[in-house]
Amino acid sequence: MFNKFLVDIYIPKNNLIIQWDGDYWHGNTKKYKNLSNRQERRIKLDKSQNAYFKKCNYKVLRIWENDINNNKEKVIENIRKAI
């Protein structure tokens, strides 16, 4: 897996991958209505990564920058549920 994609956090015990997605770079549509070509390509790559990870039996948790900055309790709760 790690020869194909770089992940932000991998927790082997739980077979869990956590990706921290920047709002701009990963094209958070709740924040950006008109996405650039670069953002649209990144969204497609993220979907491709998710599909690959799930095919390899990894759990994937993606967390938006906006949630980290504004709703830390929700982020912590989602991580706890995934673990």
pLDDT in tens, 36-65: 999 999 999 999 999 999 999 999 999 999
| pLDDT at position 1 | 53
Across the range 27-36, mean pLDDT stands at 93
Chain-wide mean pLDDT for the chain? Answer: 93
* pLDDT reported for residue 3: 72
Q: Reply yes or no on whether the pLDDT at 78 is more than 80.
A: yes
Contacts (Cβ under 8 Å, ≥6 apart) of 40:
27
pLDDT confidence of 5, banded at 50, 70, 90?
Answer: confident
User: Using CA atoms, how far apart are residues 38 and 54, in angstroms rounded to an integer?
Assistant: 24
- Residues 64, 28 contacting (CB under 8 angstroms): yes
Contact 38, 54 (CB under 8 A): no
